[in-house]
Structure 1
Amino acid sequence: MDTKRQALLLLLVLTIFPFTIKASSSGGIAIYWGQNLGDGTLTSTCDTGNYEIVLLAFLNVFGGGRVPSWNFAGHCGDWSPCTKLEPEIKHCQQKGIKVLLSLGGASGSYSLSSPDDAKNVADYLYTNFLSGQFGPLGSVTLDGIDFDIEGGSNLYWDDLARNLDNLRQQNRYFYLASAPQCFMPDYYLDKAIKTGLFDYVLVQFYNNPPCQYDLINSDATLLLQSWNAWTSLALPNNTVFMGLPAAPNAAPSGGYIPPNDLISKVLPFIKPTSNYGGIMLWDRFHDVGNDYSNQIKEYVKRSILRFVTQVSEAIVGSISAALNSMFPN
């Protein structure tokens, strides 16, 4: 490689590498919070030290001219404004925990009616949750938006992702996450995921027998086959989390993995994956009752040296290939 190309490669690595580390994960736990009073407060959730990402569930009414509203199942609502969550959200963020707002969920009234509707929803989300202006959760600057789309129409979610991406490019960077079902392609989110704009893909490997852990036979074959398919699809732009129920009754159609089985049969297989992000759990209420995250948190992490090496090799390889095409020998 000539001197000019070497200098440009070094400059690009030094510029891009810190951001890539920020957007990647050395292995952590993402948790959904907000669907049961047994979750405890956001403050107590973040004070456990168990979680890297907390997803506020859910903004479940929006789009198509609907007045946006949310369901935090007893934590707050018409009787107790959700602005009281502002200091708790800021407490979590001060601890370095990312707090995202999750859209959709299994019940609600939401859909997008057109590309213009997607733009309007993106503007609403940015103004009310991502800009620091006063909104439904107070004057908060959330760390991003999660798409947990499980109903309504499958149209225009890719437009919503692109519009949110435009806003983060124009203003400040925030994270985009998606939570597809493990069977492929996901009916609602396939087109959106293919935009490559999601920092995190939190795949739901539960309530989906064709691609989840077989608890009766203690068999991870289908689960790991699906993991390989998802991580190959998402490479190299997305960080993938394995989404699991935090207790057997968190997923009526199965997918629960006993902690010892996760530690011995699953994590050794998935952690070496270059875009492994960690484990997503549904949800905080079930985690409180089953103490799941406490049992797995030290095993979810991967060697920081291995992580940094993988990230740096991927960056250098991509940039080197690009420079070779720009400055052929």
Structure 2
Amino acid sequence: MLFKFFSASALSAIALLTQISTQTSHHGRRSRTYPLGDHKPVALQRRDVTQPEVVQLQSEYSQFKGWMTTFFASANASDPGVATLQVQFTAYDGWITNFFGQAGIASASAASIAPMTSKPPASVKSAPVSSPPPASASSASTSLSSPSGTASPLYANSTGPANVPVAGPTGTGSAGAVATFNAKASTNQAVYYGQTPQTADVALGTICEDPSVDIVVLAFLKTYFGPGGYPVLNLGAACGSDATTEAQAKGATGILNCPEVAGNITICQNKGKKVMLSLGGADGTTVFASEQQAVAFATTVWDIFGGGTSDVGRPFGNNKLDGFDIDTEQKNPAYYTNFTTALRQTFTQDPSKTYYISAAPQCPRPDASIPLDAMQEMDFVWVQFYNNGDCNVGESGFMASLTAWSGDLSAKGAGPQLYIGGPACETCGPHGFLEPTAVAPAIQAVHSTGLKNVGGMMLWDGSEAMLNTNGTGGKTYLQVVKAALT
């Protein structure tokens, strides 16, 4: 156990934090343990963590981190055990660093010190690192429609994430490798994350460890103007905690506190993967009443999730997402061009990184919800070539639809990269799933057209694709698609 490194005094603080962070519930099919920050501690489990305990822990953790850094530098990064340990240590380091950042007071209850809304915390997932306990279950579900246009289970009553990292098949690449993202590549793979049943079994960070994935789109910010006039975040089983403290004070109960997702975002971005937030979903409430409202909302999402600052808290702490995806499906495109232009303008406030905008229109043209002139100003457009009849991938009208979309998006210049959107499993959407043996021929046919703006493929969704090994020859569906793209 790695905590043998710490003294009794430091362990006292760790033990208290661990105790406070855990409670057992029976939502859904299995019991689960909630990581720190996901569930409010009960009063009888509180006591003060003293400043000497915090100082002692901080001193010893600094030495411990140095020791672990040296170990990883000399270890074989391709060893699965080392790779897993490195992911776990990275997550724990984010969690405990956040704890130290909030513990700078003489004496405070551990409940108030526990990470809530600042730097991105994360719980470590399995036994090799003793840490805030893991979570492993799914919760009672209702339904939220996805980009597939069909109902996907939504774990609306979940009080914490239920994702446990799963080991990928042999040959998925080194966990220590950092990807170089090329926004103009034709071989990128984008996946949604957050609303399917398998979200409970696959952590966001685990998906990002797979070299097959380039972009992850969190689903969804489903309501633009909810309680308190603020948006409502719903990531299904990935985050079911209460709103941030600041949000609750303003009645903005849809601004959730998602510390575990925050820690996993850090893992993703450290791997060079882009993490975006999707706005909408098939049953989202995503209509603008005026140009002024659309422009103001661009600032709102920038402040809460991008490079701005927010007085209602930030669900992912100090993490700055890499962009925003528009998946409105309400057949009311009014003011979305104004919104897109205003959102792009907010990006100029933070020149430290590149931000992106994407959209997920249906394949019938023109899309009834997202205006073409807005999409022409975006970076990526992953068209839903599924659940849409003749233009579905694999159907007789697919190639004609793809070619027409390519022309539409590039009519004013280079335009965005065009992605082929498809389901990741047979049950992920009623129509349009490509069997593993059909993936390579379909993508080869696309490449043979010579279309210059094809960017890759989008899947609904990543967790389903990672666990789908049916007929794949021992690979995951993610790997099958990536191999075909490259």
TM-score over 0.5 (shorter chain): yes
Aligned to 1:34: 194
Which structure has the larger Rg?
2
Contact 2:390 2:396 in 1 (8 A): no
> Alignment partner for residue 434 of structure 2, among 252, 257, 269?
257
Shift of 1:37: 5.3
Contact 2:207 2:463 in 1 (8 A): no
TM-score, length of structure 1 as denominator length: 0.78
Aligned to 2:356: 175
Aligned to 1:140: 319
Looking at structure 2, the residues matched to 105 and 143 of structure 1 have their Cα atoms a distance apart, in angstroms, of 19
Shift of 1:138: 1.3
Shift of 1:191: 4.1
- Where in structure 2 are the equivalents of 1:55-74 lying within 5 Å? 55-63=217-225, 66-74=229-237
Sequence identity (%):
31
> Alignment partner for residue 485 of structure 2, among 266, 275, 300?
300
Aligned to 2:159: none
After the TM superposition, list the runs of 4 or more consecutive aligned residues in structure 1 that deviate by more than 4 angstroms: none
2:330 is the alignment partner of 1:151: yes
Which residue identity does 1:296 align to in structure 2?
Answer: V
TM-score, length of structure 2 as denominator length: 0.53
Contact 2:331 2:368 in 1 (8 A): no
Question: Which whole-Å deviations, capped at 9, do the CAs of 1:122-178 have from their partners, x for residues lacking one?
Answer: 001111111164512211111100001112632111111010111123433410001
Looking at structure 2, the residues matched to 186 and 169 of structure 1 have their Cα atoms a distance apart, in angstroms, of 29
2:462 is the alignment partner of 1:284: yes
How many residues were matched structurally? Answer: 274
Shift of 1:108: 2.7
- Where in structure 2 are the equivalents of 1:219-234 lying within 5 Å? 220-234=395-409
Looking at structure 2, the residues matched to 61 and 112 of structure 1 have their Cα atoms a distance apart, in angstroms, of 11
Alpha-carbon spacing, 1:283–1:241, altered in 2? closer, same or farther (3 Å): same
Aligned to 2:278: 102
Aligned to 1:76: 239
Aligned to 1:52: 214
Contact 1:243 1:281 in 2 (8 A): yes
Structure with more contact order per residue of length (Cα contacts < 8 Å, sep ≥ 6)? 1
Shift of 1:192: 4.6
DSSP 3-state at the match of 2:237: coil
Contact 1:63 1:112 in 2 (8 A): no
Contact 1:211 1:223 in 2 (8 A): yes
Instruction: Give the structure with the larger helix fraction.
Output: 1
Unaligned runs of 5+ in 2: 1-180, 243-255, 469-475
Looking at structure 1, the residues matched to 338 and 304 of structure 2 have their Cα atoms a distance apart, in angstroms, of 19
> Alignment partner for residue 25 of structure 1, among 177, 180, 185?
185
Looking at structure 1, the residues matched to 481 and 453 of structure 2 have their Cα atoms a distance apart, in angstroms, of 19
Looking at structure 1, the residues matched to 206 and 286 of structure 2 have their Cα atoms a distance apart, in angstroms, of 30
Aligned to 1:187: 368
Looking at structure 2, the residues matched to 267 and 279 of structure 1 have their Cα atoms a distance apart, in angstroms, of 12
